[in-house]
Amino acid sequence: MENAPSVNFKTLWNQVVSSLRAVVSDEDFESWIEPMKTRPAPDGALEITVPNRLCASWIEENFLDDISTAWTEASGQRNTLRLVCDEQPAQGNLFADEPDKASQKVRKPPARRPGGFLARYDFDNFVVGPSNQFAHAAARAVAGQPGALYNPFFIFGGVGLGKTHLANAIGNAIVDSDPNARVLFLSTDSFTNQLIDAISRNRVQEFKNRVRRMDVLVVDDIQFLAGRERTQEEFFHVFNALYDSGKQIVLTSDKFPNEIQGVEERLCNRFGWGLVADIQSPDAETRVAILRRKAQAESISVPDEVMSYVASQIDSNVRDLEGALTRLSAYASLNRSELTLDLARELLATSGGNGQKEIGLEDIATGVNRHFGLRPGELAARRRTKKVAEARQVAMYIMRNHAGASFPRIGEFLGGRDHSTVVHACRVVEKKRSDDPRFRDLVDTVTRMIGCG
Ligand code: ADP
Ligand code: MG
């Protein structure tokens, strides 16, 4: 089975590896690309075998697009690429994890429940500590008596602190206790997009009626209403209709109701009518508890001292905290090394996890906005004038190359765009930089201004 084609395959893979060397950093190359095990699948796909799911998700988020591009270039055709888990099957269950099943598991989109709620976010896997105790208790109360207690229920807090998690947990709990409850989860972007779609098809009333029929409406990241006047107008009516009929409204935002700029006052006022609960950054003990939960959920064993170390180094937010653990354990399993304190020190130090000021996506967005003279929120919005489109691409490029954010993360941050859009943008900017010195200066200036250069 592995005769003639595999010789050819090796040559191809070597080409892929050498073009990847030029694209990824030396450190990433040695840690992730070199130890990769690949083989051709019978159907012509490239199979990358990884030791476990964590490893797969790390590679998928960070390198899959680069690998895919290099692979397409080398082979001259759009071949499929698959990540296959090579987890040690449990004893006596040798065929439990067939490669096909495993790879499907990896690529499967997150499970959605009725109303679009994400199944993986529930109250049981939300770790409670002083930083989120109040928001958690209130969320549980709201889920227990939707519409009766706090309306709207407004969760506010910084990026990656668990707002989306709690908002989903509310919806999931409500459906668990009443499968007939009409619940709907919408990101502010999908609310906007569905509205735009409805406008273009002359179906605005229909769209609004559908939303108004809900018993529970969750709108995530309501700060993205900023600058979208028509959406605000329609949301205002939907809000009033639901509120007047005692239906539960749950909103999340990274800003306090009255501090959301670019949103009409009458809306901001209403956001504060019910209960506003904030989530703060978790303290050290909660961070360790979150890591422990995550390790348990992923069935990975991580020494206590490593968890304490990670928790001491990453104190910004829960998403980064989980990301660090994923990265460490994926690295250890891919390189067949033990996840020791020394290894954790080494890896987190090189990623700037320690000391160095980390430039966040928010800072980059603000810097780019300022440079291009855009209003806050415009980068994430739907609008697509030439200027906004260019600014957005530049922002994506800087986020990828100077903040090391993954393609999906950038897409999510900039208004829930698909990661392929981000990949495309980065290539466009890369190309324009090398073709046009003036454009290169512009990008470099913005980058320096933000403090990334
Ligand atoms: P936000 O919406 O505030 O930006 P998310 O809800 O998306 O943040 O949380 C980011 C990640 O951190 C998610 O994977 C979420 O499950 C996890 N997370 C946040 N807070 C907690 C917590 N208290 N316990 C467990 N996981 C958490
Ligand atoms: Mg969120």
Tell how far the Cα of 285 is from the centroid of ligand 2, in angstroms: 23
How many Å lie between the centroid of ligand 1 and the Cα of residue 161?
5
For residue 390 and ligand 1, the question of a CB distance below 6 A is answered with no
Q: Give the torsion sign (CA, 453, 362, 53, 38).
A: negative
Q: Which numbered ligand comes closest to the C-alpha of 165?
A: 1
Centroid of ligand 1 to alpha carbon of 36 (angstroms): 30
pLDDT, residue 108, reads 53
Cβ proximity of 249 and 152 under 8 Å: yes
Pairwise CA distance, residues 132 & 278, whole Å: 7
Residue closest via CA to ligand 1's atom 20 equals 162
Report yes or no: 79 and 426 within 8 Å, Cβ to Cβ. no
Q: Which bound ligand lies closest to the C-alpha atom of 131?
A: 1
Q: Atom 25, ligand 1: which residue's CA is nearest? A: 126
Can you state the angle between helices 419-435 and 64-75, rounded to 10 degrees? Answer: 70
Any atom of ligand 1 within 6 Å of the Cβ of 318: yes
Taking the CA of 125 as reference, the closest ligand is 1
Residue 349 Cα to chain centre, angstroms: 23
Q: How far is the CA of 437 from the centre of ligand 1 (A)?
A: 42
Distance between Cα 290 and ligand 1 center (Å): 9
Integer Cα distance of 285 and 307 in angstroms: 11
> What is the rounded distance in angstroms from the CA atom of residue 119 to the CA atom of residue 175?
11
Q: Give the list of residues 6+ apart from residue 82 with CB closer than 8 angstroms, or none.
A: 41, 45, 46, 47, 48, 103, 107
Write down the pLDDT at residue 292: 95
416 C-alpha to ligand 2 centroid (Å) = 11
Instruction: Determine the distance separating the centroid of ligand 2 and the alpha carbon of 377, expressed in angstroms.
Output: 15
Atom of ligand 1 nearest to the CA of 157: 3
CB 167 within 8 Å of CB 218: yes
Task: Report the alpha-carbon distance of residue 433 to residue 429 in Å, rounded.
Answer: 6
| 132 in contact with ligand 1, CB cutoff 6 A | yes
Give pLDDT, residue 366. 86
Positions of the chain with pLDDT lower than 50, given as ranges? 1-3, 89-107, 352-357
pLDDT score, position 5: 55
Q: At what angle do helices 284-297 and 318-334 cross, to 10 degrees?
A: 50
| Plot region of 44 (φ>0 → left; ψ -120 to 50 → alpha; else → beta) | left
Of ligand 1's atoms, which has the minimum distance to the CA of residue 168?
6
Q: Tell which atom from ligand 1 comes closest to the C-alpha of 282.
A: 23
Compute the distance from residue 86 Cα to the ligand 2 centre, in Å: 32
Residue among 127, 164, 165 to mutate when testing ligand 1 (max atoms within 8 A of CB): 165
Give 49's strand partners: 37, 84
Residue 163 Cβ inside 6 Å of ligand 1? The answer reads: yes
Q: What is the pLDDT of residue 341?
A: 93
| Cβ 289 under 6 angstroms from ligand 1 | no
Does residue 450 have its Cβ closer than 6 Å to ligand 1? no
Q: Return the pLDDT at 449.
A: 76
Q: How far is the CA of 226 from the centre of ligand 1 (A)?
A: 24
Ligand 2 centroid from CA 140, angstroms: 18
Atom of ligand 1 nearest to the CA of 167: 6
Ligand 2 center–CA 329 separation, angstroms: 25
Using the atom order of ligand 1, give the atom closest to the CA of residue 252.
2
Cβ 367 under 6 angstroms from ligand 1: no
Query: Are residues 294 and 325 in contact, defined by beta-carbon separation less than 8 angstroms?
Result: yes
Instruction: Tell me which residue has its CA closest to atom 9 in ligand 1.
Output: 162
Ligand 1 neighbour 159 (Cβ under 6 A): yes
